[in-house]
A and B are shown apart, each in its own frame.
Chain A
Amino acid sequence: MTAHAVEVRGLHKRYGDVTAVDGLDLGIRYGEVFGLLGPNGAGKSTTVEILQGHRSRDDGEVAVLGADPATADRAWHARVGIVWQDESAPAELTVRETVTHFARYYPKPRDPDAVIALVGLEAKAKARIKSLSGGQRRRLDVALGVIGGPELLLLDEPTTGFDPGARRQFWELIRMLAAEGTTIVLTTHYLEEAEALADRLAVIAAGKVVAEGNPAQLRAEYGTYATVEWQEADGAPRSERTRTPTRTVAELTGRFDGEIPGLRITRPTLEDVYLRLTGQEVAP
């Protein structure tokens, strides 16, 4: 067994003349919650689908739980749970029927009713899937991803369409699974979600990893500047981006007599760092 739950070296995937994944490397440790961030079309879903074994790859080495997903057997599939970005579920069945049925595929499933409660669908357990709202369907997708009690859980934008309450409930679920020792790989466009859940993050752009580390590290490494904002005497707003905000403030203190009007110092958020890393930054 490798030291990593997920080991990816030099992964390449092309669709016709579009290169979706372009030399990607990842090492995800056992028991880790790993966040994959990246703009639309960066190659996140393609990567996750390759990790799951659904999509073929053009080049590179992939080991997931010590096996190549492309040739993995049933026992391997029992250990890996997945929530795809675009799912569909059997419309005519009820939530409970579906979750109970999927539980039968696994050697050691979780209790279906407990899983339904974990994703907050108790009230809808007897409802047909076709009658669920978008967010409720997404919760069902999550339920089906965890029903088998996976060792590795791959989640591709699992919280799209969740209301804030459902999102918090999902975070609790992820924390519970992580505390049990489940390795979790999660793609998301919500930076606060990545920050709240992930032990480590990788930012992907154009099929390559452009930065990797824990959220605080990324901020420290790529967000070394601060923005100082104030108002001139005539009321005109000014701002300055600097690595030495203290010196800027000291200068301003010299210029203004007493309080500096509208003074504000902001450190970059993870979102700012992310936008900069992926080249989507809006000039200040």
Chain B
Amino acid sequence: MTTDPGTKTRTASAETPPLPGVWTIGLQRGGVEIKQFFRQRDQVIFTFAFPIVFLALFASIFRDNLEGTGITASQLYVPTMLASGLMSVSFQSLGISIAVERDEKVLRRLRGTPMPPAAYFLGKIWLVLATGVAEAVILLAVGSTLFDVDLPATAGKWLTFVWIFVLGLTGCALLGIAVSSLPTSGKSASSVVILPFLLLQFMSGVYIPTKELPDWMLSVGSLFPLKWMCQGLRGVFLPESAASLEHAGAWEYDRIALVLGAWVIGGLVLCLLTFRWKSKQDG
């Protein structure tokens, strides 16, 4: 082609409409994230089956009534499995998926468009909310039909459930976003994320009641949201008499709100300070 490029001019750029807003694109991203998640059939099945399988496992190992409380061990496991299920759809899922997306240049491609960075995180939040709600519905359905867990009868208890759900899920999601910057590659992401999650589950009384944990272990667990999510959800789904099984002998809702709230704010700061859009080799 030998046309003189100097004669060509662009006329279109004169009246450019404004850039689409953060919330609009965030919603779009949420739709795309949720579609992608639910289309990976094996991932969906394993994500939601995991806590149920563990629930069934523990319920068949520990069958006795817990002395003086009138509840069964399997009832005790429903709220803790729900708490760890919520942490898995937020912390574990984001920690791994963002690391993989960074490694597979998905983040680079998005950063090459005018998508506002906040919209990416909004999309992740929609995904976590959708999977979190699905996780809760499935576990509570199984818990109330097979394991004699009574769904709360009062609006007050449901309200408690909602704020623990929202604060806990948000804190864990932010922690997951922060942890996604640790793995150096997408391949190593699942090992880097799953080991600390597994340890935390033991230290937070998911599998072993908090009363039976060594003090130092519980102290470490108490630094993170999971222990408080477990405790709060036990308070919602177990009868009052079960409070005697708690380390403090009470549900401690004020402390739960304090720790979970602190994680939401601290987690946000941590993400803002540590989040990497580029992979290590992008320099």
Report yes or no: B108 in contact with A54, Cβ–Cβ below 8 A: yes
> Do the beta carbons of A199 and B1 come within 8 Å of each other?
yes
Identify B9's interface contact among A30, A197, A216, CB under 8 A.
A30
Interface string of A67-110 (1 = CB under 8 A from B): 00000001101110010101111101100010001101111100
The 8 A CB mask of B66-98 against A (1 = contact, 0 = none) is 000000000000000000000000000000000
Do most interface residues of chain B lie in helix, strand or loop, or is the interface mixed? loop
B283 touches A15 (CB 8 A): yes
Chain A residues with CB under 8 A of B2: 199, 214, 216
Say yes or no for B145: interface residue by CB 8 A criterion.
Answer: no
Is B8 interfacial (CB-CB < 8 Å)? Answer: yes
Is the Cβ of B16 less than 8 Å from the Cβ of A56? Answer: no
- Beta-carbon contacts of B22-60 to A below 8 Å, as 1s and 0s? 001100100010011001100000000000000000000
Counting CB contacts under 8 A, is A188 at the interface?
no
The segment from B113-121, B154-162, B177-185, B219-227 that touches chain A is B113-121
Contact check, A102 vs B111: say whether CB atoms are below 8 A apart.
no
Known: A31-B9, A87-B105. A106 touches B283 (CB 8 A): no
**Residues of B contacting A134 with CB < 8 Å?**
none
A167 CB within 8 Å of chain B: no
Q: Which residues of A contact B28 (CB under 8 A)?
A: 101, 104
B104 at the A/B interface (Cβ < 8 Å)?
yes
Q: Point out the residues of chain A lying under 8 angstroms from B199, CB to CB.
A: none
Whether B111 lies near A104 (C-beta < 8 A) is no
Cα A32 to Cα B5 in complex, Å, equals: 5
B209 to chain A, nearest CB (A): 40
| Neighbour of A55 across the interface among B16, B104, B283, CB < 8 A | B283
Range, interface on chain A: 35 or more
A151 CB within 8 Å of chain B: yes
Instruction: Determine if A251 is an interface residue (Cβ-Cβ < 8 Å).
Output: no
Contact B283 A107 (CB under 8 A): no
Q: Which residues of A contact B282 (CB under 8 A)?
A: 54-55
Q: How many residues of B contact A (CB 8 A)?
A: 39
Question: A189 at interface (Cβ–Cβ under 8 A)?
Answer: no
Contacts of B108 in A (CB 8 A): 54, 84
Assuming A30-B9, A107-B16, A181-B11, is B3 touching A199 (CB within 8 A)? yes
Contacting residue for B113 out of A33, A75, A102, A182, CB 8 A: A102
Flag whether A62 is at the interface (Cβ < 8 A): no
Which residue on chain B has the smallest CB distance to residue A195? B1
Distance (whole angstroms) from the CB of A104 to the closest CB of chain B: 5
A150-B253 Cα distance, complex, nearest whole Å: 54
Contacting residue for A105 out of B10, B35, B114, CB 8 A? B114
Q: Does A52 make an interface contact (CB < 8 A)?
A: yes
In the complex, which of the residues B3, B9, B12, B114 contacts A75, with contact meaning CB atoms closer than 8 Å?
A: B114
Q: Is B20 an interface residue (CB 8 A)?
A: yes
On chain A, the residues within 8 Å of B7 by CB distance are 31
Q: Are A97 and B116 in contact (CB under 8 A)?
A: no
Complex CA gap A182/B11 in Å reads 10
Pick from B8, B40, B116: contact of A181, CB under 8 Å: B8
Give the distance to chain A from B128, nearest Cβ to Cβ, in Å.
Answer: 18
Asked whether any CB of chain A lies closer than 8 Å to the CB of B208, the reply is: no
Q: Is A207 among interface residues, defined by CB-CB distance under 8 A?
A: no
Chain A residues closer than 8 Å to B6, beta-carbon distance:
29, 31
Please give, as numbers and ranges, the residues of chain B lying within 8 Å of A151 by CB-CB distance.
10, 13
Closest 3 pairs between A and B when the two form their complex, measured CB to CB: A31-B8, A181-B10, A32-B5
Give 13 pairs: A residue, B residue, CB < 8 Å, sorted on A: A30-B9, A52-B112, A55-B283, A56-B283, A77-B113, A87-B109, A90-B106, A107-B18, A108-B16, A128-B39, A148-B113, A181-B10, A198-B1
Q: A55-B282, A78-B19, A108-B12 are in contact. List 16 more A-B contacts (CB 8 A).
A: A30-B8, A31-B6, A31-B9, A31-B10, A32-B5, A78-B16, A84-B105, A88-B104, A88-B106, A90-B106, A105-B114, A107-B20, A128-B39, A181-B10, A181-B11, A199-B2
Which positions in B face A, CB cutoff 8 Å? Answer: 1-3, 5-13, 16-20, 24-25, 28, 32, 35-36, 39-40, 104-106, 108-109, 111-116, 278, 282-283
